Amino acid sequence: MSEHGPDQPATASKRPDMNLQSPIKNPDRFYIGGRWVPPSSSARIQVLHSATEQPFGSVAEAQEADVNAAVQAARAAFDQGPWPRLTPAERAPVLRRFADEMDRLAERGATIWAAESGLLYSTALTITKTLGDFYRWYADLAATFPFVERHPSAAAGCTGLLVREAVGVVAAIIPWNGPPNLAAVKLAPALLAGCSVILKASPEAPGAAYLIAEASENAGLPPGVVNILTADRAVSELLVRHPGVDKVAFTGSTAAGRRIGAICGERIARCSLELGGKSPALVLDDYDIETAAKTIASRATFLSGQVCSSLTRIIVSRQRHDALVDALAAQFAQVAVGDPFDPAMGMGPLATARQRERVEGYIAKGQAEGARLATGGGRPRHLSCGYFVEPTVFGNVDNRSTIAQEEIFGPVLSVIPVADEAQAVAVANDSLYGLGGAVFTHDVDRAYAVARHIRTGTVSHNSHRTEMFIGYGGFKQSGIGREGGVEGLRAFMEAKTISLAGVPTALGVTL
């Protein structure tokens, strides 16, 4: 599973009607305590199709009473239910059944993702077909992760144990750009750890959460282990503040992350925050310009650039700057922008009107602050509706400028000229963010040396990758904690030390 999609998106087996309605069940209900329950009010959230601006569906909008009901169900499942009392090996088969259900829902999930967020349907289908494997990977971890470790004790004749136990009730808050996979990196490790979860979907893209509820129901997860709500920011904050929630796992903007971190700090709640980015790509002097441009441009159009770790600051030596700008502009000029359900398209729309306005505002700032607009900068003239914007390249960008420092969250690249490799590293690190990054060079030793000097959570070599089976997260204001891999499992557990006056005969585990 990748946040950024496959190297070569697969062609969809069939093309859904772009004007279809959201294929979710029970949109007028919440999934709480193992049941589809009516909401506490008649409030609804209308979801628009990103390519047509027409209604795609509507779902119930959670209020305070619904949050309280979800927390109460999750609390009961954790405090009195069987799930946290099972061994990881006993939870693993349920996770595998859940994975099978996610496989079954892959096509519906891809349709929802493309319509709600603008991701190409072919790419969405490739990713949703792999989501089950992510849950299976965590199920397999039940047999290898050291949930109980024996350590030397300071006292003679005693046994020291380090055990890892579920953190408790988790509020998993996911954004609108990648709901299926960003839910998976929270839900899979949390479930293996023995947590109960309240999955809070975004108002712009709630569909994936409804499919997860359906998978939970069909997989036979105990009541209250997985609960789903859709809410706006104000009601979501009630969930973050709720004393019945032990941990908040959030993916979203740095601004929202600051607020969530502050609230969690007030009550000493655990939190992990996967936030914004302004990731640098350093194109070193030995690397071919055309190859670099092709690779960077192909990743920059994934999900229309609505990716927190997207490589948006392209750093290159001054003497090669113009050639790289021209090469990137040529690559972007070839991108077909349009219907995300059309296999011939290379990029779909942005998710919402608000997001398009945001991107257009940054493009205007880039021009006003003196950057050279090399290509793009407007709306595609052949598209009369939908939240589309042209892939855009700016050259001669000052790293202190707005478009170089602030997260745009769209297909906008800033090419920044530097004097040499040392300045390239300094410019890469001159940012509030530290999420992703890349080094383009044919020398793997040089790539490693430069990567060690870049202060980001992930650095790729000659590409843009996220290693979700290793771990993913940011330095600086790009977040706290890691998701994916073994590190992602630890994030949903507390470490407990047990000192026994003797050697136990049966622990239920192999030490």
For the stretch 63-91, pLDDT in tens is 999 999 999 999 999 999 999 999 999 99
| Annotation says 407 is catalytic | no
CA distance 148 to 88: 11
With beta carbons less than 8 A apart as the criterion, state whether 469 and 137 touch. yes
Give the active site residue among 107, 214, 274, 483: 274
Average pLDDT over residues 216-228: 98
- From the list 182, 218, 185, the residue with the least C-alpha distance to 201 is 182
Q: For 105, list phi and psi in degrees, rounded to 5.
A: -95, 5
Structure tokens at 296: 């960077």
Task: Classify domain 30-275+480-497 at the CATH superfamily level.
Answer: Aldehyde Dehydrogenase; Chain A, domain 1 (3.40.605.10)
Under the banding of pLDDT at 50, 70 and 90, the label for residue 506 is low
Has residue 224 got a pLDDT over 70? yes
Residue 99 near residue 136 (C-beta atoms within 8 A): yes
In the beta sheet, which residues pair with residue 496? 163
Give residue-wise pLDDT tens across range 385-433: 999 999 999 999 999 999 999 999 999 999 999 999 999 999 999 999 9
Reply yes or no on whether the pLDDT at 200 is more than 90.
yes
Q: Give me 107's structure tokens.
A: 């096509």
**pLDDT over 90 at 22, yes or no:** no
How far apart CA 455 and CA 460 sit, in angstroms, is 13
What's the per-residue H, E or C state across 112-132?
HHHHHHCCCHHHHHHHHCCHH
Q: What is the 3-state secondary structure (H, E, C) of 411-465?
A: CEEEEEEECCHHHHHHHHHCCCEECCCEEECCCHHHHHHHHHHCCCCCCEECCCC
* Ramachandran bin of 269, using left for φ above 0, alpha for ψ from -120 to 50, beta for the remaining angles: beta
Q: Please check the confidence at residue 167 and state whether its pLDDT lies above 60.
A: yes
The pLDDT value recorded for residue 17 is 53
* CA 254 to chain CA mean position, Å: 13
Q: Give the mean model confidence (pLDDT) for residues 178-204.
A: 98
Please give the Cα distance from 328 to 312 (Å, whole number): 12
Whole-number pLDDT of residue 511 = 43
pLDDT of 20 over the 90 cut? no
Tell me the percentage of the chain whose pLDDT exceeds 90: 92
User: Per-residue pLDDT tens for 427-453?
Assistant: 999 999 999 999 999 999 999 999 999
Cβ 230 vs Cβ 173: under 8 Å: no
Q: Quick check: 9 pLDDT over 60?
A: no
Yes or no: say if 342 and 379 are a contact pair by the CB < 8 Å rule: no
Residue 374 has pLDDT above 70, yes or no: yes
Q: Which letter does DSSP use for residue 501 in this model?
A: S
Residue 384: burial class (beta carbons within 10 Å; 0-12, 13-18, 19+): exposed
Look at residue 158 in the predicted model and tell me its pLDDT: 87
Confidence grade of residue 503 (pLDDT, cut at 50, 70, 90): confident
Find the mean pLDDT for residues 50-64: 96
Instruction: List, in sequence order, every beta strand (DSSP E) within 192-246.
Output: 196-201, 226-230
DSSP state of 481: S
Dihedral (Cα; 261, 267, 268, 274), 10-degree rounding: -20
CATH class of 279-434+436-461: alpha beta
Q: In this predicted model, which residue has the larger pLDDT, 243 or 11?
A: 243
Which of 214, 217, 308, 407 is flagged as catalytic?
A: 308
C-alpha to C-alpha distance for 117 and 110, rounded to whole angstroms: 10
pLDDT at 8 > cutoff 70: no
E strand map for 286-404: 311-317, 372-375, 392-395
User: Given pLDDT bands bounded at 50, 70 and 90, which one contains residue 157?
Assistant: confident
CA angle 14, 19, 25 (to 5 degrees): 80
Average pLDDT of the chain is 94
Measured CA to CA, the distance from residue 360 to residue 350 in angstroms comes to 11
262 C-beta neighbours (distance < 10 Å), count: 10
Judging by beta carbons within 10 Å of its beta carbon (0-12, 13-18, 19+), is residue 506 exposed, middle or buried? Answer: exposed
Q: If you write DSSP's letter for every residue of 34-51 in order, what string do you get?
A: TEEE--SS--EEEEE-TT
In total, the chain counts a number of residues equal to: 511
Domain positions in the chain: 30-275+480-497, 279-434+436-461
Q: 1 pLDDT band (50/70/90 cuts)?
A: low
408 by Cβ neighbours in 10 Å (0-12 / 13-18 / 19+) ranks as buried
Residue range 235-244: mean pLDDT, rounded: 97
What SS3 class is residue 199? strand
Largest CA distance in the chain: 79
Per-residue pLDDT tens over the stretch 271-317: 999 999 999 999 999 999 999 999 999 999 999 999 999 999 999 99
Q: How many angstroms separate the CA atoms of 72 and 80, rounded?
A: 11
What is the band of 476 on the pLDDT scale with cuts at 50, 70, 90?
very high
pLDDT at 333 over 50: yes
Residue 274 falls in the annotated catalytic set = yes
Across 347-365, b (16+ Cβ under 10 Å) vs e yields bbbbbbeebbebbbebbee
Q: Cα separation of 323 and 290, whole Å?
A: 9
What is the rounded distance in angstroms from the CA atom of residue 80 to the CA atom of residue 376?
57
